[in-house]
Amino acid sequence: MNSNSQLGVSVDCVVFGYNGDSIKVLLIQQKTQDGGTITESELQMALPGDLVQAEETLSQCAARVLLELTSIEGIFLKQFHSFGDPDRVRGVKDEKWLETFREFPNKRIITVAYYALVSLHEYNPEASSFAGSIQWVDVDKVPELAFDHNEIFRYAVTTLRQHIEPHHIGFELLPKKFTLSQLQHLHELVLDKKLDKRNFRKNVKRMDHLVPLEEKQTGVLHKPAQLFTFNPEAVI
């Protein structure tokens, strides 16, 4: 039997953010090392991630990555797939980065991927720790990323589409109080198609976890719409 000693495990996070206008994904710019040999032109954009440490669970690792790299804490985080092809290291830049930052650069790494949802109405994450900088990039403008991160990102988008309706996760991307138009706009962006307003309202109004408030929008020029909130405890 194989000794399996040349394997390592990491966690990578696909963090989706919504600001009321477009859906974005959080990318980090790899940074140079003090006194190291890696140059600016050899750096790439990547998903935030790190190796799993000895005493932490996979979800603890994902939460730590988000906190350390971006100062984001306490948001919705869900494991969706593990990626373990032996050829996850794709190019010369990947190899150079591994040689600079990893103790065993040739070790095969299997990565457990999480997606996270954050309402950009509430957060304004900052880069910290070993990320050079972080950027919110429109999901349709994601550049070439390090390793197999484009593949992980695409898988996350597909998963988000499949989960948004049955798992009621869209609420995580909205402010605490929202209108039905905002909810529909978000669903249309994620699903990448127009939805019929009457059907959409009929369907969501049947949901026990969508709670109408005795409050209306303020500060809008049009007729203010009713506000709703999400009651996670009413989800079956």
Binding residue count for a second copy, defined by CB under 8 A: 36
* Shortest distance in whole angstroms from residue 79 CB to a second copy: 6
Polymer length of the chain: 236
* Contact residue for a second copy among 21, 40, 85, 126 (CB under 8 A): 85
Return the structure tokens found at 10: 């990491």
Nearest distance, CB of residue 228 and a second copy, angstroms: 25
CA distance 145 to 187: 26
Distance CA 214, CA 192 (A): 32
Interface residues for a second copy in 110-149 (CB under 8 A)?
110, 112
Q: Which of 64, 108, 185, 187 touches a second copy by CB under 8 A?
A: 108
Neighbours of 77 (CB within 10 A): 19
Q: Is 129 helix (H, G, I), strand (E, B) or coil?
A: coil
6 binds a second copy (CB under 8 A): yes
Q: 166 or 219, CB closer to a second copy? A: 166
Task: Tell me the C-alpha distance between 170 and 230, whole Å.
Answer: 10
Of the pair 101, 200, the CB lying nearest a second copy is at: 101
| Dihedral over alpha carbons 208, 214, 218, 224 (to 10 degrees) | 70
Interface residues with a second copy (CB under 8 A)?
1-10, 50-58, 79, 81-86, 101-104, 107-108, 110, 112, 162, 166
